[in-house]
Structure 1
């Protein structure tokens, strides 16, 4: 019989890897990303938009498309609130920052604590966003009309003999057009508008406009026009239109409307452009500036019939003459 084996204490070295064992390294982190917004609170008026900066931070080699949407947070996403763009592309390891535009087209007023969600495959990340929607600030336009006529703007009309006050969202762009009654002419704007043509306004604050109309007393005819009127290519020349005033007619030059029409009149490179110069005109004498065509487009003398129309209210007078263009001789705007 064999003697019993005596066992001593067992000592294990914690720094020794058992024979035949492998290394115990951890698994590689999965690609992912995070979202942030700056600022995280926006104020926007109904019908307007506001911007925040979206930052996408790729992690662990993440690349790809991140689809963006608004989702419920503490509050539900309100009607009419939208964001743009709806996706961004991450192509490298650097932070990606993009302007994110939120538009409140028909959104009820209030404060909404919601989230911007970004998804890519199975990944979903969110960032908190607080949006405060307010009613648009208003600006008023007050119109005062003297004489017989009307002023129209944005499908609204104000008749003579009255004062009209209209409200619009601040920042609204308007074009006011004066329409004289039969037998009257438009005698000009005052206050926020000036001159005699259509008046363009941007209502950033309350504004007042006065429009005057005057009766047409008397008549006028067109004096004899020079013919041909030659405009060198690349050069400017003036056309003076003499008016024969009858019956005591008196109206400021700007009250007249002046038009040219014909083959050579237009905005083409081979056509003559024109503009009426009320500041150079006087009673009974109207001045037009004619701009010759591109010198590179005119190689020979050319003439064409042209019609001149001068109007004062409902009085319209026309005359025919020949307008001609000639090649550039020297300089000519080159």
Structure 2
């Protein structure tokens, strides 16, 4: 099947053979998908479009071609649409077509002098028994001429040519009741490219059209840019002219060697779309054909020199069957049946698809995602305005076909065809998309990676933690990368959504960029938060683990001196500090555990809030010197804290004890006795004085 610009609206012009760059071919694709191909034929017309003038004639050739072993007589007819003053004839009108053969007929249109200029179409039909195919051929009638008697039309009128290359355009010279010779000249403005018509002179008969091929060349020193070719035809009665715009680009460096290998496979999804606002317009047959297809697979079988063979397997709706097409062709010359499924590898923007001057050139090389990975992709876009006829109405259609090939291998990754027709109340839109969804080819094209630092972190409920996400360009990747959260697990249990800042980054070629992932904890647990980094349909992921621990209950602290030293029979004191933690409001009660011989007294046994406790320690006189432990226990709320205080008890030296005695007695006792004696003495003296005084007369 041909990957060409084929659009069918009941009776519809189906496009040009743009796969090889020629502008003078129409093909009717009669490939109706089914489990078993049936004998059929298709119509091949060349050259097209037909260009003529009022009072003139135009011709093209019609070739009915056998397909799938078809043999039989094909009856040919033609109807001009848009004017009753144009007569069509097909000679011969019946052709016997042999199996794998073809026929040859001439289509002639005779235009009355009163027919206005404009775009028209002629419907060519081939019928054999129950088989019938039609093609709508565009016709341009040019009504005004500078020189009397003939007109000139160029197709295409816009060309792209690399330096050191050649391209061509078809010139149609049509007579308007003129008989004689027309000499053709071409001149470039500005100078820099050359153009030569072949032949450079044509002989016209009344109402006839003759063709010449204009060969256009650019040298290695031709400046890049736009040029205008002025094409002029001179005759004895006057002259006529037209123009062609030529864009000169860089020289191609393509080598035209296969980039594929046996065993390379690409799987495709096939989808179609059709929408019209008039119920009278039925869905195009071409869309119906693809509508029976859901998938396709391209498998490379062999590579010998520049020749590649492959199988193209179509899968029908609901797995009702499949069909295998054998493809074989030369990626250097473009000859064969590869039909743009496979081209040469290693091409880039500006290169012709084949090593041919007439081949279309790759528009641009881009980065695009297919089948889960990035590829360097060669893109070819071709847009044409063609004529569509339905229900007797002929309207122009904007038709576009786009091919996307892997630049390394030359394998087709996507082919997209679309058309849009709007004319007054008439509107019809349709598309066909053959899209690669899986492949086994290994790409080393641009990519990007994402990492997280840290990849795991711990925090407590009520706290927040962050991880830095680093995005790294791989193999010169550049573009915008969007970041999103895969938070299904967290959402299921009701925890807050993490946040990303920023949510997208611009990644430069071989550069890096960062974003911050922040997580706020409310519920204890372990959360694996996955971040998706996406660009052009490709997603890379990284997972960050957040371990959330529950906050401990409100608490307090017990601090203070942890040791003291006292002598036997002596007393000393220390202080203890009670400090409540966040949220702690309970009363703290203190108890003491002390060994025998040590007495401990607390200034207070409980308190609320922050405070100081004074603790007095006394060692009894009969306590043996040594090290003892006093334990303070503080309880508040659900918390209990203890503090062990080491008490070192020492003895009093013996020398210090004897020198302190008076007459062998304790000084305190001696002083007490002396005081008592003095008091008694004073009391006796006072009593005696009073007795003596009472006896005196």
- Shorter-chain TM range is 0.3 to 0.5
Greater helix content: 2
Ranked by relative contact order (alpha carbons within 8 Å, sequence separation 6 or more), the top structure is 1
TM-score, normalised to structure 2's length? 0.18
